[in-house]
Structure 1
Amino acid sequence: MGNRIIIIASEHELYMRSLTSVEQWAEIYEAKGVQDALSHLTVFSYHLILIAIQQEPEFICQFVETIRKLVSAPVMILLPEKTKERMTFVEAGADVVLEEPCEPEEIRLQAYALIRRYNEWGSKEKKEDGGIVVGPLRMNSLTRTLYWYQAEISVVKREFDFLYLLASNPGRVYTYSQIYRIVWQEYPQDDITNMIYCMVHRLKKKLKDVDMQAYNMIHSVKEVGYCLKLHNE
């Protein structure tokens, strides 16, 4: 099927009919709540986030803002009743805001359109030269090359994938679980913290041989994970 949707919703009739309208062409995960949704978004990739919770507008806006700090996937909000604050949700980061009464077919069409645009955008990005530039750091995912200024640094696959992950979103902290899932492409198991630490230690040693600034750009966040940040940022 390919497409994956995470739904955060209260139990009501419209939600159930809407779910039926999209589950035929997408894999659905029904979050058990806001915290469960945020936990999943930090580990798994989704093509659409559908929010249909009966909460105060301020709460929903804060939830959307938090999501926007984690992922770029489109967000659709289904409001339980008419409101004059639709623009507020869009400003918070939502892509589509629908109001009840709303036919399941409308939800299905909007969801399909959002996922299609998101996939097209992702395909376009992948067709580019695969390059990332962060200060003196230059990486290319197609040629699997890594440069610091003009010096090429030889790294193994997991070292490259780890650094490319951090460089793709400078300043964002990736948890040990996220890093393991993306770099190792496996579900976290055993002592992943030590495994990641050893890999990072080897990588940083290679960076240190080139430049201390390169060595220092990988920041360890105690008991959480790692991020990339240059001193002049």
Structure 2
Amino acid sequence: MKKNKIIVIADENGLSWESLVLLEQQSEIYQAKNIQDAFSHLTVFSYHLVLIAVKQEPEIVCQIVEAIRKMVITPVLVLLPGHSEMRKKIIQAGADVVLEQSYTVEEIRLQAYALIRRYTEWKSERKEEVPVIVGKLEILPLQRMVKWDHEIVPVVKREFDFLYLLASTPGRVYTYGQIYQLVWQEYPHGDITNIIYCMVHRLKWKLKVVDKNAADIICSVKEVGYSLKVYKEL
């Protein structure tokens, strides 16, 4: 049976070892290395729960929750290291549940279970697919299909994942390292710049077959990486 997926955003000692072990019994855990790493993963991968346990000022936690809520509709569970008057504001920022210092390991597990259960039930009731559209580019995530001006572009897995990554946040520049880690789903090694360049070259050729101007939507940032042009720039 496929496990649910939880992304954990935590400082050192922000989440106890006992809590992680208990959560791993019912879910697959990804521990983000930092906030930016978490945002990158949320842009590409689907999770059933975001668990935040950072020892930061409550105002910073609010900002993190607000940023996540703009990106995904995944449930957000926040653990606060102490009692705070910001609990209400954190919930208003988009958190679904905020637990304060008196929480127990079992309560974390139960809250995570309840949030994931409601989210998966809600997702199972959704039959429609929400496409990602940037200008004439249309990406259908469930069908893993790419269209340009309603015409299908025959892409393979990594080409699709690369386009979906860029189209999710048009204008944002992804470095070669970020692209390799998120598309190939492994840590960068070897000549990743050339590997990515060859993949993009093939993808651009496929786009040009459909429309000679279609490949221009992929923007190369010299010695950095790639981004997707927003429609008004085309």
**TM-score normalized by the length of structure 2:** 0.72
Amino acid at match of 1:56: E
Q: Which residue number corresponds to residue 103 of structure 2?
A: 102
Q: Is structure 2 residue 177 aligned with structure 1 residue 200?
A: no
Query: How many Å apart are 1:111 and its aligned residue?
Result: 0.9
Structure 2 residue aligned with 1:42: 40
Task: Report the equivalent of 2:89.
Answer: 88
1:160 alignment counterpart = 160
Amino acid at match of 1:57: P
Matched residue, 1:24: 25
Residue pair 1:43, 1:181 contacting (<8 A) in 2 also:
no
Contact 1:15 1:52 in 2 (8 A): no
Alignment RMSD: 3.7
Deviation at 1:72, TM superposition (A): 5.3
Aligned to 2:149: 149
Q: Is the 8 A contact 2:66 2:94 kept in 1?
A: yes
- CA–CA separation in structure 1 for the residues paired with 2:187 and 2:112: 29
Q: Counterpart in 2 of 1:8?
A: 10
1:8, distance to aligned residue in structure 2 (A)? 0.9
| Partner-residue secondary structure (3-state), 1:220 | strand
Q: In terms of mean alpha carbon deviation, does 198-207 or 115-124 score higher?
A: 115-124
User: Could you report, residue by residue, the CA deviation over 1:168-218 in whole angstroms, capped at 9, with x for unpaired residues?
Assistant: 443444443343344434443211121111221232244345446522221
Query: Which residue in the other structure is 2:176 paired with?
Result: 176
One-letter code aligned to 1:232: K
Partners of 1:65 and 1:180 lie apart in 2 by 27
CA distance in 2, matches of 1:194, 1:117: 44
Residue 70 of structure 1: how far off its partner (Å): 6.4
Unaligned 5+ residue runs, structure 2?
A: none
Q: Deviations over 1:69-123 (max 9, x none)?
A: 6665433211222222213213434232112322333222111122234444555
Q: Which deviations, in whole Å up to 9, do the C-alpha atoms of 1:15-49 show, x marking residues without a partner? A: 45544543432344566xxx635435535855433
Query: What secondary structure, in the 3-state scheme, does the structure 2 residue paired with 1:82 have?
Result: coil
**Structure 1 match to 2:115:** 114
